[in-house]
Structure 1
């Protein structure tokens, strides 16, 4: 065949367009949202040369087959747990019914798979140094079992410190289980895991597909960050394991993030979330520990473990419910502000109700396309009366919500479609005035170090920048 013939190029272009049409039809039938389906289908129809390969990486997936497999694995896991006398929390769960603030979140008892439990202790951990010192101290004191789960683990100074600590505890006879996301930790060398295995640590990569192709499947990622030590103390929030999270990334430093330390009955829920993910990866249960007794006093907490296998879009509905429940204020901080129509509508209605609506976002991009789309959404929110703040000192990565006087949430979920529908996320909802006051003080310091986006900023944005933002927004449903 003459590869320089115009007929050859004509056949090649025709083949690409046919593949684009087939991929567009696949997107129409499989993408979960109308916006996402339109974004993929139109781009595949008109510019398949640019979008076929990205669709294979970002969009094409056997969604329902995966969901059914994941649900089946979860069911098998719970059957395996049936003989463990798990979930001994009836009295703690009943206490939530007496909380006026929790009752105001009317959908939460049914939205979350795990109940709201009383008698917990929660500590706010601001930024990487406080977070990892607390985590490492807890692991140092471990005597039985340590569960560790992160989206990203780097083989840098912080990653090496974690590795050496886990090896030392494993040598002491402590059972160590480590789970990391295969795509999130794509840069982690195999030697890192091998050293841990040789030292007696159980370590596994979370993958949505078996085999080598999983490296190209960026959907269904496990974005959770969980550490549980001896069933007595746990940690969750926004930090991953990497030097940038303790401020060692020159372009984004100082890194602004938030974690929480928790103990009490809610740790059973945190362990159950880890067990579901570990069972999916290994078809085995990790050790699960229940203390002999819990504190007799403490705060109400609910773990919200969300993911694409949920019967409904739990993470997105949680954001909507939190915004709709606000009567005085709703403050949100997220590194990626790419909301869908339901969340945008809830924010607009909150403003119309007279609620103080504030959103804290970065002033520096770590992903330029997401940043561009986020900027346009921010401008539109400002026009609707939402107060948008850009954090100035460094990159803000925390995921925090504060509702009225005593409801707060800290976790791993961003305000975007990926967290709403495609990633596995973990959030701790806390109903307590004293803890909410700490969150308020933290966010007020963040707002003081931020610059509020104004109508002048919108007018001063160059036309080319606005064009880039609008193009980025067109693909925001698939970001």
Structure 2
């Protein structure tokens, strides 16, 4: 009896593996990924089925139709006087070379922004807490990670104080990114009047998914001040947790019409999770001279919008392209764009960490760094601590700050956001910041790979095989 039951179970597992393999062939985005999953599911269903349940899906179903429906129901795509506001603050002419990005994302550049570059955790959280403390109408907060530590509890208290003062406070956090967050942290906020929810897929199968994480970092205060960048809420982002300390990261504060686009991005995620509308206020009259496009990308997009964002920005470079990313695992399109930029005579530099926080990603990144160096890209490893910033500088007039990494998760699986700014003064600030970072970095040369032991080089190539799920 027992052998027959075991045989039946084995048969059912193989049938399930075959069905999953057909699903992978039909739905996995890349041919390499489809082949890898299909072979594993057919020949090793005992091992491959569980991870496929967690990692196999590559598309986020239902998000876009729901947003269109609820946007029509809400009837609030614009704010009163928006047309006149935008006419008084047109985008700079140089924005035209990024028109394809705007069309792809269904967005537009807006002029009239004042920008403040926040070059570390101390500056970022000082600005965030000052803005939140002055909120009079609403505070929108979205982070991938909250920790129940000193900084996390300070953020909790700041939000509770505003809620107690009658300010509408809405918080989104990622359920996987905050897997270690105690339930009491969330309940204390909820009991204090903060509307707080985890980002979730709400599909029976996708409840098991580790993909489709909401990696965005957004704070909006009263519709007038917006923040976006690479920092989450935790003591390590202040550089208080060795061995990765000091932590190197960058955030950006915006004042101007793009803050409304940050609110709209938050609203789309909030509607998906809650079915309700968050509070909204229009931005103030033009605060400065910078032009900004808010680039919100994710797995619900029809195209691989994050990867294409980088490809187009790289192609736009004529003199300089500097990138800072903690995870340098570019896909074929981005690597090809970097190679072409070098051939055009562009000064292409990439800043990556010297210390790992994820060992497999670090190994894959090391192999890509070697290939980039061979192609003429100047790659540098930041020495003092872990480098987590996500910054792009193009020529002498354009820069982007946000949550986007150069890896498959950001390109295809995570919801991400960045602000692309066209303004010579702001680009000069970013240039000065990155020059200081490069001065604290060591250049990578081919000896890093060629001089490594065989076992380490083998590990690099093995890590590249699993890039799609890193």
Same fold judged by TM-score > 0.5? yes
Q: Which residue pairs with 2:65 in the alignment?
A: 72
Note if contact 2:249-2:389 (Cα within 8 Å) is conserved in structure 1: yes
User: Following TM superposition, by how much is the alpha carbon of 1:184 offset from its aligned partner in structure 2, in angstroms?
Assistant: 1.1
What is the rounded CA distance, in whole Å, between the counterparts of 1:188 and 1:320 in structure 2? 36
TM, length-normalised to structure 2: 0.95
User: Following TM superposition, by how much is the alpha carbon of 1:95 offset from its aligned partner in structure 2, in angstroms?
Assistant: 7.7
Note if contact 1:92-1:117 (Cα within 8 Å) is conserved in structure 2: no
DSSP-derived class of the 2:140 partner: strand
What is the rounded CA distance, in whole Å, between the counterparts of 2:454 and 2:42 in structure 1? 28
1:365-407 Cα shifts (integer Å, max 9, x gaps): 1111111111111111111111111111111111100000010
DSSP-derived class of the 2:75 partner: helix
Q: Please list, as runs of the form range in 1=range in 2, the aligned pairs for 1:450-461 lying within 5 A after superposition.
A: 450-461=441-452
Q: Which residue pairs with 1:183 in the alignment?
A: 176
**Is the counterpart of residue 304 in structure 1 residue 265 in structure 2?**
no
After superposition, the Cα gap between the structure-2 partners of 1:279 and 1:330, relative to the gap in structure 1 and judged at 3 Å, is same
After superposition, the Cα gap between the structure-2 partners of 1:398 and 1:272, relative to the gap in structure 1 and judged at 3 Å, is same
Q: Please list, as runs of the form range in 1=range in 2, the aligned pairs for 1:10-409 lying within 5 A after superposition.
A: 16-60=13-57, 63=59, 66-67=60-61, 69-83=62-76, 85-86=78-79, 88-90=81-83, 93=86, 99-210=92-203, 216-291=208-283, 293-295=284-286, 297-409=288-400
Note if contact 1:183-1:215 (Cα within 8 Å) is conserved in structure 2: no
What is the rounded CA distance, in whole Å, between the counterparts of 1:191 and 1:129 in structure 2? 26
What is the rounded CA distance, in whole Å, between the counterparts of 2:438 and 2:196 in structure 1? 40
Note if contact 1:182-1:215 (Cα within 8 Å) is conserved in structure 2: no
After superposition, the Cα gap between the structure-2 partners of 1:234 and 1:343, relative to the gap in structure 1 and judged at 3 Å, is same
Point out the more displaced range, 175-184 or 13-22. 13-22
Q: Which residue pairs with 1:437 in the alignment?
A: 428
What is the rounded CA distance, in whole Å, between the counterparts of 1:452 and 1:12 in structure 2? 55
What is the rounded CA distance, in whole Å, between the counterparts of 1:339 and 1:109 in structure 2? 22
Point out the more displaced range, 17-26 or 376-385. 17-26
Note if contact 1:92-1:119 (Cα within 8 Å) is conserved in structure 2: no
1:318-343 Cα shifts (integer Å, max 9, x gaps): 10000001000111111111111111
Note if contact 2:91-2:111 (Cα within 8 Å) is conserved in structure 1: no
DSSP-derived class of the 1:358 partner: strand
1:187-231 Cα shifts (integer Å, max 9, x gaps): 1122111111111111111101357x7563111111110000011
DSSP-derived class of the 1:327 partner: coil
User: Following TM superposition, by how much is the alpha carbon of 1:420 offset from its aligned partner in structure 2, in angstroms?
Assistant: 1.0
User: Following TM superposition, by how much is the alpha carbon of 1:452 offset from its aligned partner in structure 2, in angstroms?
Assistant: 1.0
What is the rounded CA distance, in whole Å, between the counterparts of 1:447 and 1:153 in structure 2? 30
What is the rounded CA distance, in whole Å, between the counterparts of 1:42 and 1:380 in structure 2? 28
Note if contact 2:331-2:408 (Cα within 8 Å) is conserved in structure 1: yes
1:283-339 Cα shifts (integer Å, max 9, x gaps): 000110014x41264210110111111222211111000000100011111111111
What is the rounded CA distance, in whole Å, between the counterparts of 2:353 and 2:40 in structure 1? 29
DSSP-derived class of the 1:205 partner: strand
Which of 441, 462, 475 is the matching residue for 2:453? 462
Structure 2, unpaired ranges of 5+: none
